[in-house]
Amino acid sequence: MTERHTNETFSFVESEHAVLDLWKLENVFQKSLEQTANCAPYIFYDGPPFATGLPHHGHLVASTIKDVIPRYWTMKGRYVQRRFGWDFHGLPIEHEIDKSLGMSSTEAVEKLGIKGYNDECRAIVQRYTNDWEKTITRMGRWVDFENDYKTMDPWFMESVWWVVKQLWDKDLIYPGVKVVPFSTALGTVLSNFEATSNYQDVQDPAITVLFKLIEQDAYMAAWTTTPWTLPSNLALCVGADIDYVKMHDNDLNAFHASRRQRP
C-alpha cells in the first residue's frame, strides 16, 4: 500500500455543510418518512422547549439524543414522526411580558385586561422560532418544522383535556396534598423549574463561637450562619443522643467540645 502525503487539511465544517446541503437538496428526511409510511409506527414524544429564549448547550445535548433514537428506529424499519413543538404556557412568557410592559403585580394585569395580556403573550411567542430552526438544522437533527405543534393551539389543549377525561373515567385521578412553592405576586403555584430558576449560590457569614461552660475550664464550640443573633443568645442546646468529643486547643490553651464527625 502506497502512502500519499498532501498538504491539504480536512475541514469538518465544510464536510458538515456539504452533508446538510445534500440532505436538503435530495429531501432525504422527507423521503425516509415516505419509505416507512406503511411500517409499524414508533411513537416519539419530544418535550417542547420554551419559545422565550434562544437554544443553549443544554438543548444541544438533549437534541442529539432526540435525534439518535428516532434515526435508530427509522433504520430498523419503523415509521417515526418527529414533529417539533413549542411550549407557550407557563410563567416564562408572562415574565417576558411583565418586563417589557413594566408590570409587577396581578393588579397591573387586571388593569390591562386578561384578553390584552394574552394578546401580548401571543405576539412574542414566534420571536425566536427562526433561530431555533437554524440551530437544530445546523446540528444535523431531523425534525418536521412545517407541521409543528404549539401548546397554545386549541386542538392541543383539547387533546390534553381528553387525556385527563380518560384518566378520570378509569379512576386514576385522586385528590391529594402536597407542599408546593407559591408566588404571592403571581397568585399561582410554581413548578420546581420556576422555583429554582433564580437560585443562586451565596456566601454565608458563618462563624464558630466558643461558649464557656459553667464551673468548668472548657468551652463548647457552636457553628452558626446567623451571627447577628448572638447578642440575644441565652442558652446552648445539646443532644442527649449525640456524641461529643473533648479536645485541647493549644492555641487557646483550653479545652473545648464539639460534635463528633461521623464517617
Confirm if 88 and 96 have CB atoms less than 8 A apart: no
Compute the distance between CA of residue 254 and CA of residue 178 in angstroms, rounded to an integer.
50
What is the pLDDT averaged over residues 81-91?
87
| Phi, psi for 111 (deg, rounded to 5) | -70, -40
Mind listing the pLDDT tens digit for each residue in 133-191?
999 999 999 999 998 888 889 999 999 999 999 999 999 999 999 888 888 777 788 87
CATH of domain 12-195: 3.40.50.620
Q: Where exactly are the structural domains of the chain? A: 12-195, 207-259
Q: And the C-alpha cell for 258?
A: 464539639
Going by C-alpha positions, the residue among 218, 213, 223, 208 that lies closest to residue 254 is 218
- Residue with cell string 443532644: 239
pTM recorded for the entire structure: 0.62
The residue type of 73 is W
Confirm if 141 and 67 have CB atoms less than 8 A apart: yes
